[in-house]
Amino acid sequence: MGVSKLKLPKVCEHCGKTFEAKTINTRFCSDACNNASLRMRKKEALEAERKQQILQESAAAIATIQTRPYISIAEAVVLFGISKDTIRRLIKAGKIPAVNLGERLTRVSRTHIEAMFTAVAMPEEKPQKQQPVKLQYEPSECYTINEISEKYGVSLSTVSGTIRRNSIPKRQVGKFVYVPKEQVDKIFARK
């Protein structure tokens, strides 16, 4: 990857410290911040995947639970996504009315819990992806890779990498690769 001769002042996306970046794509001040951010993103992705899996597994149960006026604590956990301890704490504080019908048969009013918390959204079927529309740009509305490199003072590999990372449409005519001016200016202006 090419390195610019400029020192770009940036703010680390993880820790918030200011630092001098050597490339326009640098996002973190150190490898430690980069690794910590990566671990955090992986953890969030796993958590979202786990929640989605739980929703899909219990979709039928949620549909039947939503029609009953009184539900068990375990059903409230599935329906509202809150912990058993929270529900028990609210029952003890008297904020949620509950009826104890015997050992492990506590029932709570679904309407009272709905007033405090929002119900978990039912998983929807994924819509079919639409085919992307190919954009037609005239060469007068575009830069070549060399023009971008000269205008912004960065190497050819940096320009190519930035175009690839940001999914900027490009069009090859003969031996020249054309890239829309408006999108390139937007990306390089903010960096």
Q: What is the DSSP string of 52-121?
A: HHHHHHTHHHHHHHTT-SEEEHHHHHHHH---HHHHHHHHHHTSS-EEE-STT-EEEEHHHHHHHSPPPP
pTM value is 0.35
Separation CA 186–CA 139 (nearest Å)? 18
pLDDT of the residue at 52: 86
Q: Kindly tell me if the per-residue pLDDT of 119 is higher than 70.
A: no
- Please list the alpha-helical segments (H only) found in 108-180: 110-116, 145-152, 156-165
**For all residues of the chain together, what is the average pLDDT?**
82
pLDDT tens digits along 64-109: 777 888 888 888 887 777 889 988 998 899 888 888 888 778 898 8
Is the pLDDT at 41 greater than 80? The verdict is: yes
Q: Is the pLDDT of residue 135 over 70?
A: no
- 171 pLDDT higher than 70: yes
Most confident option among 75-84, 117-126, 142-151: 142-151
CA distance 28 to 104: 51
Q: What angle do CA 20, 150, 24 make, to 5 degrees?
A: 25
Higher model confidence: residue 34 or residue 173? 34
Torsion of CA 108, 89, 74, 62, to 10 degrees: 70
Residue 113 CB neighbours (<10 A) = 19
Q: What is the pLDDT of residue 42?
A: 95
| Model pLDDT, residue 181 | 86
* Whole-number percent of the chain with pLDDT over 90: 15
Average pLDDT over residues 131-158: 79
The Cα–Cα gap between 181 and 151 comes to 12
Contact between residue 169 and residue 184 where contact means Cβ atoms under 8 Å apart: no
Question: Would the pLDDT of 62 be above 80?
Answer: no
Q: Decide the pairing of beta strands 70-72 and 106-109.
A: antiparallel
Would you say residue 44 has pLDDT above 90? yes
Q: Is the pLDDT of residue 122 over 60?
A: no
More confident: 32 or 174? 32
**CA-to-CA separations, 86 to 51, 71, 99, 146, in angstroms, rounded:** 18, 15, 17, 61
Mean pLDDT, range 176-191, rounded to an integer: 82
Cα–Cα dist 88/116, whole Å: 14
Give me the domains of the chain, ranges plus CATH numbers.
8-53 (no CATH), 68-116 (1.10.10), 139-182 (1.10.10.10)
